[in-house]
Structure 1
Amino acid sequence: MNTFKKIYCRIFQNCFKLVIPVLPYRTPEILKSTSLISHVCKDNHISKVMVITDFTVHQLGILNRMCEHLDHHSIEYVIYDKTVANPTSDNVEDARNLYLSSNCQALIGFGGGSSMDCAKAVGARLARCKKPLSKMEGILKIWKKLPLLICVPTTAGTGSETTLAAVIVDSKTRHKYAINDFYLIPDYAVLDPKPTLSLPPFITACTGMDALTHAIEAYIGNSTTKKTREYALKATKLIFENIYKVYEDGNDLEARSNMLDAAYYAGHAFTVSYVGYVHAIAHSLGGKYNIAHGLANATLLDVVLKQYGDSVYKKLYEMALYCGICNAKDSYKVGAERFIEQITLMKKYFGISSTFSELKKSDIHELALYADHEANPLYPVPVLWDVKELEKVYDLVVED
C-alpha cells in the first residue's frame, strides 16, 4: 500500500479509536431460554411478532418450543423461512413486506448469522422505509430506532446476537456488504443451548471457528480496549476447551452453552474493536460463490495470520499463553507459531480444507477490490494491504 493511503487509513482508524469511549455501545439483555420470549413480548405489549428463519430450522421443528410458549400466552406470530445462507436484499424486502402486511410489532431472528442479519436488515428497512438497503452500507447510516429485536442463535459462531452489524448480499450484483449501526444491536439475545442440539458436527465446527476468528481479529487489531481484550481472550479459551467436545458429542449441553458464551464474548469484542482481512476476504468469497461465512473464515484464518508475520507475534503469544498453548519462557515467535499451528490442526481434525474449489484465478482481482473496499480504511488491521497484496492471499487459497 502506498504511503499516502497508509497515512489516511491509520488516521481514520485512530480517530475512530479515540471516540470509542463516548460511542453509544450497549449489550443486549441476555435470556437463557426461548420460553422467556413470550414474557418479553407481554412486558412490551406486543401481540404479534415476525419470526425470521431459514427453511431447515423451520422444517426440523427447532422453532416449536418457542412457538408453543407464544401460543400459550396468546401471542400471534408470522414465520418467514426463506432466508438463504448469505442473506440477500430480496430476502430482506420479502420479509419486510410480509411484516407490514401482517401488522407485526416486533422481530425475532431465529437461526444462524444469516437469519439474524436478515432480521436486523428488515428492522433497518422498517425504521428507514424510504432509504434503500444499499444506501445503508458502511457505518452509522440508520440513525433511527428499530422495532423490538430478539435474536436466537442456533449456532455458536457469528455473534450476530450482540453485534451492531448485518451483512447482506445485493441480489443483483452479488456484492456482499456490511451495515454497521448502534441501532442494529438486538434488544435481547437468547443464549439457549437447546436450539443448537440439531446442528451437524461440520457446521458446529465451522461456526465455532467463525467465533474464534472474531475473537482473534478483535484482539490483534489496533483498536482494542481493556474490555474487548478480556472478552476476546475469554472467548478464545472457551472455544479451545469446548469446540472438540461439541463436535464429538452434539448433546453436551454444558459445552454448547460454553460455546454460545464464547460466541457472545467474541461478538462483543469485534463489535467494538472490529475485525480484519480474514473477514474482508471471506465476505468477498461468500458474495461471489455463496460460500458459508463460517467455512470461509475457518479456511482463511491460519493463512492470513501467517501472512501478517511478526507484526502479530506478541499478541498471538499472549493469546497462546492465556490458553495454555505455550509457556512464559517461549519467545513471541514460538508462542505465535504454536497458536497458529493449533488452528491448522483444528482445521485438519474437522476436515476443513485450506483452499477453495470454487475460487477462480480470473476472479481474484475483482474479489481483492471488494476486500480492499470493505477493509480499508475501516478495519484496524495489524498490517495494511492494498489490492495487490490482498491478491497474494487469494493466490494461496486457490486450488491448483
Structure 2
Amino acid sequence: MNQVYIKTRVFSGEDSLERLRKFEKKKIWIISDTFLVDNGTIDRITEQLDRSNRVVLCSDVVPDPPLSAVAKGVALMGNIHPDIIIAFGGGSAIDTAKGIIYFAKFSGFTDGVRFIAIPTTSGTGSEVSSVTVITDPDTKIKHPIVDDEILPDEVILCPQLTCSVPPSVTANTGMDVLTHALEAYVSRNANAYSDALAEKAVEYVFGYLKRCCADGNDMEARSRMQEASNLAGSAFNIAGLGMNHAIAHQLGGIFHIPHGLANSLILINVIRKNSNVCEMRARYAVLARKLNLAGKEHSDSEAVTLLCEKIRSCQKEMKIPVTFSELGIRPESVLEKSTEIWKNAQKDMCSDTAIWRFDQCDVEDVLQL
C-alpha cells in the first residue's frame, strides 16, 4: 500500500519573506549559524518580524549536527517555550532544529509550536522531509531519525537568500538534489507521485544548476534550484533513498566530506552498480528518455551510459572533484575503511528502500575512485 503525505505549506518567490509579517505577540526562537548572524543575513528575517514579538536567537549551529548540540537545544527549548521555531540556514540548521523538536516532544515542549524552515541553500530538501541526520562524533556515525512530527509546518523559499552561496557549495548541494531525485526514482517504494516530483527535480537540476554556478545572481536559476531541492525532498520523503546516501553518510562521518560532495563522488559508480539489476536499469533508462538524453533507438544500457555521461559532463563543467585524491584523501585509506563503511551502510535507514542492498564487494567497487 502506498502512502503519500505532504504536510508542509510552501511560500516561494522574491517576496516570500513577507509571510513572517503575520506573526504578532509571539515568542519566536530562531535557530541559525554564526556565519549568517555575523554577515548580517539574519537581518533579512528579523526585519520582517513585528516588534510585538519576543525574538530569541541561537547561532550555535555547526555542520553535521552532533548529539551534544541537539541536547543543548532541548534544554534551551525548555527554558524558552517558543510559540514559533524558525530554522534559518542550510541543511545543518534545519536538521538541528528537527533534532531538537524530535527529542523535545518527549518532554511536551513542542505542544502547539509552529515550525518554519527557511533554507539558504538548494540541496538537502530537509525543509520538506520527515528525516533529520544527527552525528555521533565518538563513533563517527550519522544517525538518521524519521518522524512525521518533525516535518516543518511551513517553508519559505526566497531565492535572494541563496545568491551569496559560492559556486563550489552551490554545485555540491545541487548534486545532492540530483542524488535525492535519482535515488527516489529507483527506490523500492517509488510510485507515481514520487516519480513526478523526481522527474521535474532532475529536469531542473540539469537545466539550471550550471547557470547558478556561473552567475550567482541569476534569479530564475536560483528559484528553479530551490524548487528542485524542494521537489526532490518531497520525492524522497515519499519513496525513500538508497545505497548512495547510505554510503555517503559514512564517507561524511569518517572523512568529513561535505554531504553533497560525498553523494556526487560515488553517484555514477552507484548508478552503474544498480544497473546490474534489470528493474533499476530500466527505470534509469525511462528517466533518460523522458529527459531527451536518450531515444527509443538506444537500449536500456546505452540510455544509462548517456545519463552517466550527462552527470559527468555537469561535474566537470562545475569543477566538482570526482576522485578522493582531489580531496587530499588517499584512495587506499578509503578502501581500508571499506568494511566499516559497508557494515554501517547496512544499518543506515536509507538502505532499507534500496531495491538492491550492496554487499561488501559492491561497496568496494563503488569506492574505486
Q: Distance between the aligned counterparts of 1:254 and 1:73, measured in 2?
A: 33
> Which deviates the most, 370-379 or 46-55?
370-379
Alpha-carbon shift at residue 388 of structure 1 (Å): 4.0
Q: Does 1:37 align with 2:20?
A: yes
Q: Which amino acid aligns with 1:366?
A: E
Match of residue 365, structure 1, among 321, 339, 364: 339
Q: Equivalent pairs: percent with the same residue?
A: 31
Q: Does 1:58 align with 2:37?
A: yes
Quickly say closer, same or farther: Cα 1:253–1:377, change in 2 above 3 A. closer
Match of residue 290, structure 2, among 322, 327, 350: 322
Structure 2: give runs of 5+ residues left out of the alignment: none
Post-superposition Cα deviations, 1:208-267, rounded to whole Å, max 9, x if no partner, equal 110010000000122111111011001100111100111101001111111111111100
> Which deviates the most, 233-242 or 103-112?
103-112
For 1:228-267, what aligned pairs fall within 5 Å after superposition?
228-267=194-233
Q: 2:302 — aligned with what?
A: 334
Q: Indicate if the aligned counterparts of 1:49 and 1:108 stay in contact, CA closer than 8 A.
A: yes
Q: Does 1:393 align with 2:366?
A: yes
Quickly say closer, same or farther: Cα 1:354–1:233, change in 2 above 3 A. same
> Which deviates the most, 174-183 or 353-362?
353-362
Alpha-carbon shift at residue 149 of structure 1 (Å): 0.9
Q: 1:344 — aligned with what?
A: 312
Alpha-carbon shift at residue 309 of structure 1 (Å): 2.6
Quickly say closer, same or farther: Cα 1:167–1:145, change in 2 above 3 A. farther
Matched pairs, number: 358
Quickly say closer, same or farther: Cα 1:266–1:341, change in 2 above 3 A. same
Q: 2:99 — aligned with what?
A: 121
Q: Which amino acid aligns with 1:86?
A: D
Give the 3-state SS of the residue equivalent to 1:251 in structure 2.
coil
Q: 1:135 — aligned with what?
A: none
Q: 1:212 — aligned with what?
A: 178
Quickly say closer, same or farther: Cα 1:245–1:287, change in 2 above 3 A. same
Quickly say closer, same or farther: Cα 1:247–1:110, change in 2 above 3 A. same
Q: Which amino acid aligns with 1:350?
A: M
Q: Distance between the aligned counterparts of 1:386 and 1:173, measured in 2?
A: 22
Quickly say closer, same or farther: Cα 1:377–1:289, change in 2 above 3 A. closer
Quickly say closer, same or farther: Cα 1:122–1:260, change in 2 above 3 A. same
Q: Distance between the aligned counterparts of 2:53 and 2:363, measured in 1?
A: 50
Q: Distance between the aligned counterparts of 1:327 and 1:382, measured in 2?
A: 25
Q: Does 1:26 align with 2:9?
A: no
Match of residue 78, structure 1, among 43, 56, 64: 56
Q: Does 1:307 align with 2:307?
A: no
Alpha-carbon shift at residue 100 of structure 1 (Å): 2.6
Alpha-carbon shift at residue 376 of structure 1 (Å): 7.5
Alpha-carbon shift at residue 307 of structure 1 (Å): 1.6
Quickly say closer, same or farther: Cα 1:54–1:184, change in 2 above 3 A. same
Match of residue 190, structure 2, among 187, 209, 224: 224
Give the 3-state SS of the residue equivalent to 1:69 in structure 2.
coil
Q: Indicate if the aligned counterparts of 1:174 and 1:288 stay in contact, CA closer than 8 A.
A: yes
Q: Indicate if the aligned counterparts of 2:243 and 2:350 stay in contact, CA closer than 8 A.
A: no
Q: Distance between the aligned counterparts of 2:240 and 2:132, measured in 1?
A: 13
Q: Which amino acid aligns with 2:94?
A: M
**TM-score of the superposed pair, with normalisation by structure 1:** 0.84
Structure 1: give runs of 5+ residues left out of the alignment: 1-17, 131-143
Post-superposition Cα deviations, 1:13-39, rounded to whole Å, max 9, x if no partner, equal xxxxx2x33x7x233111122231241
Give the 3-state SS of the residue equivalent to 2:116 in structure 1.
strand
Q: Indicate if the aligned counterparts of 1:299 and 1:347 stay in contact, CA closer than 8 A.
A: no
Alpha-carbon shift at residue 317 of structure 1 (Å): 1.6
CA RMSD of aligned residues (A): 2.0
Q: Which amino acid aligns with 2:121?
A: T
Q: Which amino acid aligns with 2:102?
A: A
Q: Indicate if the aligned counterparts of 1:145 and 1:183 stay in contact, CA closer than 8 A.
A: no
Q: Distance between the aligned counterparts of 1:214 and 1:361, measured in 2?
A: 25
Alpha-carbon shift at residue 377 of structure 1 (Å): 6.1
Q: Distance between the aligned counterparts of 1:373 and 1:302, measured in 2?
A: 23
Quickly say closer, same or farther: Cα 1:93–1:217, change in 2 above 3 A. same
Q: Distance between the aligned counterparts of 1:30 and 1:309, measured in 2?
A: 35
Q: Indicate if the aligned counterparts of 2:31 and 2:58 stay in contact, CA closer than 8 A.
A: yes
Q: Distance between the aligned counterparts of 2:111 and 2:199, measured in 1?
A: 32
**TM-score of the superposed pair, with normalisation by structure 2:** 0.91
Quickly say closer, same or farther: Cα 1:384–1:102, change in 2 above 3 A. closer
Quickly say closer, same or farther: Cα 1:377–1:322, change in 2 above 3 A. closer
